[in-house]
Structure 1
Amino acid sequence: MIEKIGTLAVTALLLAGCMVVSGSYSSEGLAPIPGSITYSGQPRTKLTKSPIGSSFPHTFTDQTGREVEEIYVIQPDRSLRIVERHYRPFLAWSRR
């Protein structure tokens, strides 16, 4: 009986964590890393034709040679916020 309660509690915590991660982009965003568009500050050119709230990807190679994909969202003041960052696996046989 205690094992079932423990299992249910762990399952509930894992599901609650998934709900938080899969929500909207309401956080302050991720800190830029070398290669990010916003690493040296916001870009000088404003994205005036792009709708506020729209998102776009940016792919680059970090200092360790890993391929990184970041998703940016355009803020109301036309600044960019990094909302997602994914590291692609490094596979020696897939490089050309």
Structure 2
Amino acid sequence: MIRTITAAGVMAALVASCTVVSSSYTSEGYAPIPGSITYGGQPRTKLTRSPIGSSFPHTFTDQTGRTVEEIYVIQPDRTLRIVERHYRPFLAWDRDQ
């Protein structure tokens, strides 16, 4: 009985210490790499029709030949921020001949 109460107390403490992960991105974002939309500065055209806070993907091949997918979010001043970057696995048989 005491073990059950102790285990329940430990579990309650662990659950209480967890933080809720929200879908808002509060970090500065990733630094642009060659191939990123924002590499060399923000795009000249402003995304005036897209809602603030909306996101979109961009896929490109970096200088080493890896496929990179970045997720951008439109900021209130209409600039873009990179919030996620994923490198797809390199498989020899996936390459174009």
TM-score between the two structures when normalised by the length of structure 1: 0.77
Q: CA RMSD in A?
A: 2.1
2:86 maps to what in 1? 86
Kindly report which structure 2 residues correspond to 1:8-47, keeping only aligned pairs within 5 A, or say none.
24-47=24-47
Query: What amino acid is aligned across from residue 60 of structure 1 in structure 2?
Result: F
What are structure 1's unaligned runs of at least 5 residues?
A: 1-7
CA–CA separation in structure 1 for the residues paired with 2:41 and 2:90: 28
Kindly report which structure 2 residues correspond to 1:40-55, keeping only aligned pairs within 5 A, or say none.
40-55=40-55
CA–CA separation in structure 2 for the residues paired with 1:54 and 1:66: 26
1:95 Cα deviation after fit: 1.4
Q: CA offsets per residue over residues 33-58 of structure 1, 9 Å max, x none?
A: 00000001000000000000000000
Aligned length: 82
Q: Runs of 4 or more off by more than 3 Å in structure 1?
A: none
Query: What amino acid is aligned across from residue 37 of structure 2 in structure 1?
Result: I
Q: CA offsets per residue over residues 15-73 of structure 1, 9 Å max, x none?
A: x69x66x7531101000000000001000000000000000000000000000000000
What are structure 2's unaligned runs of at least 5 residues?
A: 1-9
TM-score between the two structures when normalised by the length of structure 2: 0.76
Larger Rg: 2
The alignment partner of 2:93 has SS state of helix
